[in-house]
């Protein structure tokens, strides 16, 4: 950051100095030429008077060096004195002769030919001073910003180094407070979600270990322990997956993925779960390819379909439609009321907590869906109404 600001200040200072120097040179050159024009006018008038008094012969001795003279009299007599300058910039002046006729003086206009060396030295000197000034000024600008960055990393108050940065500081403070609240809420949710199955496992295991369970109760207790440990393992896996997605994990070796074939594969793997509740899964559409991570896309589709089954009605239906750049999963389930729809992609957010736990969900599935979709350039849209089913569409750009 310091180097970038130094370069920007250096370029700005040098550009400003060169523009100012060029403007100054033009102003000086204009002034010098104006003075030369006035001088040539005076010389032409004086030479005209000498011509009237002493005749044309006087011009040979009186004409200054670098001035070319020409005269023409009414009787047709004409003459010249001196060498005509190159036509790259000349000044002219005329004087009327007393006997009629005109005397014209021509001289080379002054320029900066002899000053280019001095100008180059001035430009280099200005560049050197600009570099030094830019370096010091950049340090002065960056230092309070670094202090601001350090204060953001710490838990102390954030102060604005410049009044113009106060809106940014307020936004940073709000963002940090929001992140702290999210971390605390996430920690509380994880603790609660893990504590519930652990308490169940511990209770049943203790009863079996202490001989309190009757022989015919051991199997149901073991099944309950297995179910809760499976739920806990699923929760841990979802947390680890979210952690990887949050860490900014990028797509490594992306490859074309057939979303229609992948949808059929997910539907096949979920068929047993659907059959238990009499739910039909129907996949339709046309072949559509997304370049990305097949495993993550599979997990996205699996979570969408699994939710559509878990929150469906008995003997309901799940329709998966793959169309041009979009995948839609629609169910005939309980639906989501409008006040909950904005939050269902948040971690651990449940519309009906008791129903969610009864169906075995972790509360992280839709959050993973959102992360995977965004990773692949997708946007999620939701259509739902209470007791009228839910439709979630992932649009890929």
Per-residue pLDDT of the chain (397 residues; tens, 9 = 90+): 557 666 776 677 777 777 777 777 777 778 888 888 899 899 889 988 988 888 888 888 888 888 888 888 888 888 888 888 776 678 889 999 888 889 998 888 877 665 566 666 777 777 777 777 777 777 777 776 666 666 655 555 666 555 666 676 667 666 666 556 556 666 666 676 677 778 888 888 888 888 888 888 888 888 888 887 877 777 777 777 767 766 666 677 789 999 999 999 999 999 998 999 999 999 999 989 999 888 889 889 998 998 899 889 999 999 999 998 899 999 998 888 888 888 788 776 666 555 445 555 566 778 888 888 888 889 999 999 888 899 999 999 7
User: β-strands 102-108, 90-96: how paired?
Assistant: antiparallel
pLDDT of residue 248: 65
pLDDT computed for residue 355 by the predictor: 46
Question: Is residue 154 assigned to a domain?
Answer: no
95 backbone dihedrals φ, ψ, rounded to 5°: -135, 135
- The verdict on pTM exceeding 0.75 is no
Residue ranges making up the domain that contains 219: 170-246
Q: What is the pLDDT of residue 27?
A: 79
Exposed, middle or buried by CB within 10 Å (0-12, 13-18, 19+), for 164?
Answer: exposed
* 178, 238: one domain: yes
Q: What angle do CA 164, 165, 169 make, to 5 degrees?
A: 150
Q: Is residue 216 located within the same domain as residue 100?
A: no
Q: Are strands 102-108 and 67-72 parallel, antiparallel or unpaired?
A: antiparallel
In terms of domains, do 267 and 373 share one? yes
> Is residue 299 located within the same domain as residue 199?
no
Burial bucket for residue 208 (CB in 10 Å: 0-12, 13-18, 19+): middle
Of the residues 189, 224, 246, the one at which a domain ends: 246
Closest alpha carbon to 361 in 199, 243, 197: 197
Domain boundary among 212, 246, 280: 246
Angstrom distance (rounded) from CA 109 to CA 90 = 5
In this structure, the answer to whether residues 233 and 260 fall within a common structural domain is no
User: 90 and 3 in contact (C-beta within 8 Å)?
Assistant: no
Do 211 and 266 share a domain, yes or no? no
Per-residue pLDDT at 169: 63
Instruction: Output the domain CATH number for residue 312.
Output: 3.30.565.10
d(CA 159, CA 139): 19
Task: Give the per-residue pLDDT at 337.
Answer: 86
Asked if residue 178 and residue 311 are part of one domain, the reply reads no
Place of tokens 């239906």: 317
The structure tokens listed for 58 are: 């006087």
Show the tokens assigned to 27.
């102003």
Look at residue 134 and tell me if it is in a domain.
no
Is 81 within the bounds of a domain? yes
Pair 109, 210 in one domain:
no
Residue at which a domain ends, from 93, 115, 137: 115
Does residue 71 sit in the same domain as residue 17? yes
Residue 202 belongs to a domain with what CATH number? 1.10.287.130
Query: Count of domains in the chain?
Result: 3
Can you tell me which residue has the tokens 């739910």? 279
Angle (nearest 5°) at CA 245 between 239 and 247: 100
* 126 domain residue, yes or no: no
Q: Give the DSSP H or E segment for 171.
A: helix 166-209
pLDDT at 183: 64
Q: Mark whether 236 and 345 lie in a shared domain.
A: no
What residues have CB less than 8 Å from 90, skipping those under 6 apart? 106, 107, 108, 109
Instruction: Starting at the earlier edge strand, list the strands of the sheet with 390-396.
Output: 280-285, 317-323, 326-331, 390-396, 378-384
3-state SS class at 385: coil
CATH number of the domain that 76 lies in?
3.30.450.250
Residues 332 and 382 in one domain: yes
Tokens of 88: 């790259």
DSSP annotation string for 292-317? E-HHHHHHHHHHHHHHHHHTSPTT-E
Q: Copy the structure tokens of residue 382.
A: 């939701």
Same-domain pairing of 293 and 211: no
């Amino acid at each position: 950051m310091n180097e970038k600001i130094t370069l920007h200040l250096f370029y700005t200072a040098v550009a400003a100095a060169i523009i100012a120097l060029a403007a100054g040179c033009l102003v000086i050159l204009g002034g010098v030429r104006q003075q030369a024009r006035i001088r040539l006018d005076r010389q032409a008038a004086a030479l005209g008077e000498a011509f009237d008094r002493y005749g044309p012969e006087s011009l040979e001795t009186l004409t200054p060096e670098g001035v070319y003279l020409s005269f023409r009299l009414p009787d047709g007599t004409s003459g010249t004195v001196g060498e005509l300058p190159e036509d790259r910039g000349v000044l002219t002046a005329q004087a009327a002769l007393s006997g009629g006729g005109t005397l014209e003086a021509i001289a080379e206009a002054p320029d900066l030919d002899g000053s280019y060396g001095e100008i180059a030295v001035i430009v280099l000197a200005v560049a050197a001073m600009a570099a030094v000034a830019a370096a010091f000024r950049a340090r002065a600008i960056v230092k309070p910003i670094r202090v601001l960055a350090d204060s953001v990393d710490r838990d102390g108050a954030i102060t604005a180094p410049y009044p113009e940065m106060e809106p940014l500081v307020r936004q940073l403070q709000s963002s940090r407070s929001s992140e702290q609240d999210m971390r605390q809420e996430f920690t509380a949710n994880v603790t609660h979600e893990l504590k519930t199955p652990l308490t169940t496992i511990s209770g049943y295991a203790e009863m079996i270990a202490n001989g309190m369970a009757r022989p015919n109760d051991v199997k149901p207790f073991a099944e309950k322990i297995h179910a809760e440990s499976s739920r806990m393992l699923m929760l841990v896996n979802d947390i680890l997956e979210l952690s990887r997605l949050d860490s900014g994990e990028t797509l490594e070796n992306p490859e074309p993925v057939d979303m229609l074939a992948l949808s059929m594969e997910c539907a096949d793997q979920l068929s047993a779960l659907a059959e238990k509740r009499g739910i039909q899964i129907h996949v339709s559409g046309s072949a559509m390819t997304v370049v990305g991570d097949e495993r993550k896309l599979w997990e996205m589709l699996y979570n969408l379909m699994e939710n559509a089954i878990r929150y469906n009605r008995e003997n309901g239906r799940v329709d998966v439609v793959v169309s041009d750049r979009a995948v839609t999963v629609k169910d005939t389930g309980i639906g989501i009321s409008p006040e909950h729809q904005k939050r269902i992609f948040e971690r651990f957010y449940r519309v009906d907590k008791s129903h969610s736990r009864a169906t075995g969900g972790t509360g992280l599935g839709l959050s993973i869906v959102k992360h995977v979709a965004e990773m692949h350039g997708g946007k999620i849209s939701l259509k739902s109404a209470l007791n009228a089913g839910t439709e979630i569409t992932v649009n890929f750009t």
